Amino acid sequence: MQPEIRTTPIEYTIAGHSLTHDPAKRFGEEIMSLLGRVWPVIKGGAIPHDGINRVVYDSGCTVFAGVVLGPGAEAMLAAGGLERKTVRLTRYAVWKHVGPYHLIPATGAAMTKALEAAGHRTGWPMVEVYGHWTNDESKLETETFVELR
């Protein structure tokens, strides 16, 4: 598998929560904590959303987790205490990891190595887009988008 290079810009706004990564914790633990704060607000307020979890990693070790809101949901955002994060990618690499979440870092390292070997340098942001949940870990799908410098 090789990363795909794309130059068609994408932009979307995510509603969720953020934190600064604590090196003593695993990213997965922090992501679950953030999403655990997002979903009760979304469900409790019947806020329209796309149902797809997204995690944005940015410079300064910032981690943001949330979902894209549906039409008419913007007015509900402040009432629910959710933060907004706009993601813009202009020239970026994309790859899909299929399998257990704990193996995502190994896939990312392999993709970064392939990009560097092809003369590309990765930058920020990096976005993980999680596919629909399944109990069969071998079928979990996560797409990663990373800005290229």
Here the CATH number for the domain that contains residue 80 is: 3.20.80.10
Task: Tell me the β-bridge partners of 16.
Answer: 66, 83
Task: Tell me the β-bridge partners of 146.
Answer: 93, 126
pLDDT at residue 45, as a whole number: 84
Q: Read off the pLDDT band of 6 (50, 70, 90).
A: very high
Longest CA–CA span in the chain (Å) reads: 47
Alpha-carbon Rg for the chain in angstroms: 16
Residue with tokens 């410098």: 149
Q: Read off the pLDDT band of 78 (50, 70, 90).
A: low
Q: Structural domain tally of the chain?
A: 1
The answer to whether 16 and 66 are in contact (CB under 8 A) is yes
What percent of the chain stands above pLDDT 70? 97
Domain span at 122: 4-148
Q: Give the mean pLDDT of 4-18.
A: 95
- Nearest Cα neighbor of 13 from 70, 79, 51, 58 is 70
- How confident is the prediction for the chain on average, in pLDDT? 93
